[in-house]
Amino acid sequence: MNEKTKNIEDGLKSLIEQTYLIEKEYKILGESYANLQKFTQGIVESLGASLWAISSSGEVVLSNDKAKQIMGILDEINIQKSTQEIEFQNRVYAIKITNSMQNQIILATDITDEKRSARLVSMGAVAAHLSHEIRNPIGSISLLTSTLLKRIDDKNRPLIEEIQKAIYRVERIIKATLLFTKGVHINSNKFDLSKLEIICREAINQYAFSKDIEFKFSGFDGEICGDINLLDLVFTNFIFNAIDAIEESDDESGIVSLEHKFEDGLHNFYISDSGVNLPSGAIFEPFKTTKLKGNGLGLALSLEIINAHKGSVSVQSSPKLFTITLP
């Protein structure tokens, strides 16, 4: 083999080795790029917001799963404004747009809960102020109607009794509103469950309704430890909701059932009625109601009181059943 041939072979061998080396480095570079992409995508997915990267031609070059669920919001965004708020699919989003080289980065953060919380705080403050303003004149009217009831003749007595029932309803709304805005603090004592039944039956006599409703109480014996004044508010709230559900139904009569059972060391109260079905959506949200009458505080406050007692409330839609569990 002459020297020229040997040089060619050595050069070819060196070229092959370099090719293998380049291929190996390219493979390493490819793996590094793939890992970088995976790492970047992991960061994008871990964001608590929806993210898009939009090229200069308007093409989406990067997005996370949250963004893919609300792609339609891109049509609502004004790309000329760096910050904005947009309502989309009954949710509120804070939009922030930044530029990175040739791409636009769009970030959409769901602020619905924050907006709702701020609105509830504002509504609560207004409600508390109005409740304070209304409490004194309502107290005076209540005193006057009680005095009038002792002096009026029998034919006008039903009219005054209806006024008293209306006042009772307003007083309950005031009490619930002030309790909700100030916060629930329980004063727990042991008492007989029969006393709770008596209080509930007395409250029923104070509530205005037009249909023939049968009230069934069962198992209200034994003792329980709790704040009877707050639990009175809870159970009468559920009873009044049951009455309202029957009033809204097409039937001329109805049944409200309250059953107590002591099971596995817990007090379980089962409340059901023959009225209209439960509305869809969150029924324990404050100031939100689908009822013909009501302020939307009853169930929300009841849940807060039960939670303060270390208990729980569960809901079954069909058949309609509320279960209150207390320790």
CATH number at residue 197: 3.30.565.10
Q: Which pLDDT belongs to residue 189? A: 86
Question: What is the spatial distance between Cα 47 and Cα 107, in angstroms, rounded to a whole number?
Answer: 10
Statement to judge: residues 156 and 103 lie in one domain: no
Q: Which pLDDT belongs to residue 104? A: 82
Statement to judge: residues 249 and 281 lie in one domain: yes
Model confidence at 266, pLDDT cuts 50, 70, 90, reads: confident
pLDDT at 282 over 60: no
Region 246-253: mean pLDDT is 86
Could you identify the residue written with the tokens 């083999």? Answer: 1
Q: Which pLDDT belongs to residue 133? A: 65
Region 8-29: mean pLDDT is 70
Region 5-19: mean pLDDT is 69
Instruction: Name the pTM for this structure.
Output: 0.53
Region 105-123: mean pLDDT is 75
Statement to judge: residues 129 and 76 lie in one domain: no
Question: What is the spatial distance between Cα 232 and Cα 226, in angstroms, rounded to a whole number?
Answer: 10
Statement to judge: residues 86 and 201 lie in one domain: no
Question: What is the spatial distance between Cα 283 and Cα 299, in angstroms, rounded to a whole number?
Answer: 7
Q: Which pLDDT belongs to residue 289? A: 57
Q: Which pLDDT belongs to residue 247? A: 87
Statement to judge: residues 3 and 139 lie in one domain: no
Statement to judge: residues 209 and 292 lie in one domain: yes
Q: Which of 58, 80, 110 corresponds to the end of one domain?
A: 110
pLDDT at 280 over 80: no
Q: Which pLDDT belongs to residue 27? A: 74
Region 135-146: mean pLDDT is 73
Statement to judge: residues 52 and 39 lie in one domain: no
Tokens of 202: 């007395």
Closest to 217 measured CA to CA, from 249, 268, 260: 260
Q: Which pLDDT belongs to residue 238? A: 87
- Greater confidence (79 vs 130) lies with 79
- Greater confidence (46 vs 188) lies with 188
Q: Which pLDDT belongs to residue 132? A: 64
CB of 272 closer than 8 Å to CB of 282: no
Tally the domains of the chain: 4
Three-state DSSP class for residue 14: helix
| Per-position DSSP letters for 55-115, written without gaps between them | -TTS-EEEE-HHHHHTGGGGGG--TT-SEEEEEETTEEEEEEEEEETTEEEEEEEE-HHHH
CB of 148 closer than 8 Å to CB of 163: no
pLDDT digits (tens, 9 = 90+) for 33-51: 566 556 555 665 556 788 8
Statement to judge: residues 266 and 132 lie in one domain: no
Statement to judge: residues 188 and 300 lie in one domain: yes
| Cα angle, residue 211 at apex, residues 228 and 258 outer, rounded to 5° | 35
Region 12-19: mean pLDDT is 70
Identify the CATH number of the domain in which residue 90 sits.
3.30.450.20
Q: Which pLDDT belongs to residue 68? A: 84
Q: How far is CA 99 from the centre of its chain?
A: 37
Model confidence at 291, pLDDT cuts 50, 70, 90, reads: low
Q: How many C-beta atoms lie closer than 10 Å to residue 42's C-beta?
A: 10
Tokens of 323: 């279960």
Q: Which pLDDT belongs to residue 297? A: 64
Mark out the alpha helices in the chain (DSSP H runs).
Answer: 3-46, 65-69, 112-151, 157-182, 193-206, 228-247, 298-308
Statement to judge: residues 73 and 138 lie in one domain: no
Q: Which pLDDT belongs to residue 34? A: 62
Identify the CATH number of the domain in which residue 167 sits.
1.10.287
Region 292-302: mean pLDDT is 65
pLDDT at 275 over 60: yes
Statement to judge: residues 202 and 162 lie in one domain: no
Range of the domain at 134: 113-182
Instruction: Specify the long-range contacts of residues 53-56, CB closer than 8 Å, at least 24 apart.
Output: 53/100, 53/103, 53/104, 53/105, 53/106, 54/103, 54/104, 54/105, 54/106, 55/102, 55/103, 56/102, 56/103
ω into 319 cis (within 30 of 0)? yes
Model confidence at 180, pLDDT cuts 50, 70, 90, reads: low
pLDDT at 120 over 80: no
Statement to judge: residues 214 and 163 lie in one domain: no
